[in-house]
């Protein structure tokens, strides 16, 4: 290898290292900005038909800014109560789960898994709560990246395809398309629906008087966690809330919460909305998504919620393409 090539490789590696150390503290808001921009991109395209691209991006960025402000103030005001309530809910759910007649190995593994995830999420939230200025800085980065992705989405897509090598370009295009299908299944179908259910459960718990706002938020977070598990779902949370209301003598509120839960949380959306969403995207193996989410949280913190399932989904796509190429060869 020529000395010139060695020098350029060394310079490139040094630049990449410096860039990584610069971006690393802000990698979480960047990942979430990319994720939210991808999820909302279809809405952005529809708005851009009536408005222009920049006005659509500004409108969506303004809405995200309002949501972030509410989120930050929510963390400041309710973090301790939410965390306390969430720990109580998780412990009660864990005790119920472990009370089932499960094989010892499965029960022990589930207990360790849920405990590790709970500790990791609490630790992550605590770190950010103790550093509100850092949280505000990351919110600014989030909005800047979110706006930039929406405005330049077409140019970025063209650049991505332009980077594909001419040899086996068809394979590269196919991998990108299958990668998009995987992202649709994970982000626009699975995670988005789970988060929406968590929001509805939070609203239901607060409106029907199951608990205060902090407890309702904690219940919504627990609903999202349970919705990410195969078989188990958010129905466990609203049933527990309905039983609690009934035991407190508020039978009518318990019945209304039950109707609300069946129609809007589970199983209503699973029968009506989820099949339509899945039909538009790729189906994802629940076990693969489960390992991706919880393994991602353990390995990367809260950003692992996105990194884990997406990485495993793309790996699965690559393996399928490799097997198909082997069969054709």
3-state secondary structure 19-82: HHHHHHHHHHHHHHHHHHHHHHHHHHHHHHHHCCHHHHHHHHHHHHHHHHHHHHHHHHHHHHHH
pTM, two decimals, is: 0.66
User: pLDDT truncated to tens, each residue of the chain (329 aa)?
Assistant: 567 777 788 888 898 888 888 888 788 888 888 888 888 888 898 998 888 888 999 999 999 998 888 777 766 666 666 666 666 666 666 666 666 666 666 666 666 666 666 666 556 555 555 566 777 888 889 999 999 999 988 888 888 777 777 776 776 777 777 677 767 777 767 777 888 888 899 899 889 988 887 778 878 877 887 776 655 677 888 888 888 888 888 888 889 999 998 898 888 887 777 666 655 555 566 666 667 777 777 777 767 777 777 777 777 777 777 777 777 66
């Amino acid at each position: 290898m020529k000395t010139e090539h060695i020098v350029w490789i060394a310079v490139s590696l040094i630049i990449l290292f410096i860039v990584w150390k610069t971006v690393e503290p802000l990698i979480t808001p960047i990942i979430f900005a990319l994720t939210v921009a991808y999820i909302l991109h279809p809405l952005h395209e529809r708005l851009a038909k009536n408005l222009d691209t920049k006005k659509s991006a500004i409108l969506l960025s303004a809405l995200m800014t309002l949501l972030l402000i509410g989120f930050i103030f929510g963390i400041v005001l309710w973090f301790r109560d939410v965390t306390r309530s969430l720990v109580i809910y998780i412990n009660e759910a864990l005790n119920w789960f472990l009370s089932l007649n499960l094989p010892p190995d499965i029960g022990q593994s589930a207990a360790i898994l849920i405990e590790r995830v709970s500790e990791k999420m609490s630790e992550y939230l605590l770190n950010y709560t103790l550093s509100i200025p850092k949280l505000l800085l990351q919110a600014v980065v989030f909005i800047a990246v979110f706006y930039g992705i929406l405005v330049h989405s077409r140019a970025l897509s063209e650049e991505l395809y332009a980077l594909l090598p001419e040899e086996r370009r068809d394979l590269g295009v196919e991998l990108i398309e299958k990668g998009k299908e995987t992202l649709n299944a994970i982000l626009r179908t699975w995670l988005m629906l789970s988060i929406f259910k968590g929001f509805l459960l939070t609203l239901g718990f607060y409106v029907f008087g199951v608990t205060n706002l902090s407890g309702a938020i904690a219940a919504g977070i627990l609903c999202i966690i349970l919705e990410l598990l195969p078989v188990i779902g958010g129905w466990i949370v609203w049933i527990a809330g309905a039983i609690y209301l009934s035991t407190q003598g508020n039978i009518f509120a318990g019945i209304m919460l039950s109707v609300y839960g069946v129609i809007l949380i589970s199983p209503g959306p699973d029968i009506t909305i989820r099949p339509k969403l899945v039909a538009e995207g790729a189906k994802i193996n629940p076990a693969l998504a489960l390992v991706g989410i919880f393994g991602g949280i353990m390995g990367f913190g809260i950003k692992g919620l996105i990194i884990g399932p997406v990485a495993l989904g793309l790996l699965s796509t690559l393996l399928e393409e490799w097997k198909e190429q082997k069969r054709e060869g």
